[in-house]
Homo-oligomer: A and B are copies of this chain.
Amino acid sequence: MKELKNLLGFREEIKVLDATLRDGGLVNDFYFSDEFVKDLYRANIKAGVDYMEIGYKADKEMFDVNKFGKWKFCDDDDVWAVFGDKDPELKLGVMADVGRCNYKEDIHNRSESPIDFVRVATYVNTIPTALHMIEDAKNKGYEVTCNIMAISNAQESDMKIALDMLGQSPVDVIYIVDSFGSLYPEQIARIANLYLETAEKYGKEIGMHAHNNQQLAFANTIEACGDGVNWLDATYSEMGRGAGNCAMELLLGFLRNPKYNVYPVLQFIEKHMMKLKKEGITWGYDLQYLMTGQLNQHPRTAIAFTKDGREDYCEFYKEVVAQD
């Protein structure tokens, strides 16, 4: 029986992670104003959020610094400049993508850095490199999490091997990531059980990172939570790539730990997120994302459809079905 049968209680171990700048940055090429970032930081503190992912450590040899805002790179100096008076209650982190991050040089020792945690993002077939990155970050003093992406396309037997390898690594948290927004709550329950076996065996925590292609990001997140997953990702106004993520305002309204407070989230949304939308920044559930989600495909075609301002949904459906 799920723990949520007891909806009025709460679990101290649950951690909420705000991924607005990182996943949301994929929507606006990381061009957030300093005011936006500072207000978001203060809102997170007031709301009781535990971890805040502020962007990527992207390799400047691969990505042009003139084409992205600074949160694509998260140089320590840029982070210090904005988060100068850090609150120890809210930990800051960056994502480091396998193959797109010069981690040996760009991630410095935690003692010299404003960053507290590193999230290594990998596919199942790049786990060995991810393990190097995890060890590197751990040796530098960070809390380390690992996102295994696109698992809806991975073989279960491969997943088991990957989880075992990560279990034996120094990683702290292993994330279930529904990259394509294609998974249903029942599938999340099965996957969570698989991940939690590793967690129990090796003393790790499990996390959930959902996408909203089928309007299930929040439902899948609370499903995972009820199954025993403790680290829960959310973003303000569900801002994130394509159909977006689990909305922070939904998640904090659901969690019963009195440390969480939804009102600062609503204040931030009214001040900043509505403005972004009026400026034409577009994300969130729409028919083209439903289609790629239902077909268990990467959302890149749907993102292009959105960017091109297309409205010929049925034509698009025929295109993506033809890709299968």
Chain A contact residues, CB within 8 Å of chain B: 2, 4-5, 7, 184-187, 190, 212, 214-219, 222-223, 226, 247, 249-250, 253-254, 262-263, 266-267, 269-270, 274, 287, 290-291, 294, 311-314, 317
Contact = CB atoms under 8 A, between A and B. Distances in A.
A-B pairs, top 9 by smallest CB distance, nearest first, are A219-B219, A253-B294, A4-B186, A270-B313, A215-B218, A215-B215, A270-B314, A267-B314, A266-B314
Contacts of A250: 214-215, 290
A153 to B, nearest CB: 16
Given A184-B222, A186-B226, A294-B262, A269 B313 contact: yes
In the assembly, how many copies of this chain are there? 2
Q: Interface SS of chain A: helix, strand, loop or mixed?
A: helix
Contact of A7 (B187, B262, B294): B187
Contacts of A2: 186
B290 A253 contact: yes
A294 B222 CA distance: 15
Contacts of A212: 215
A291 B2 CA distance: 26
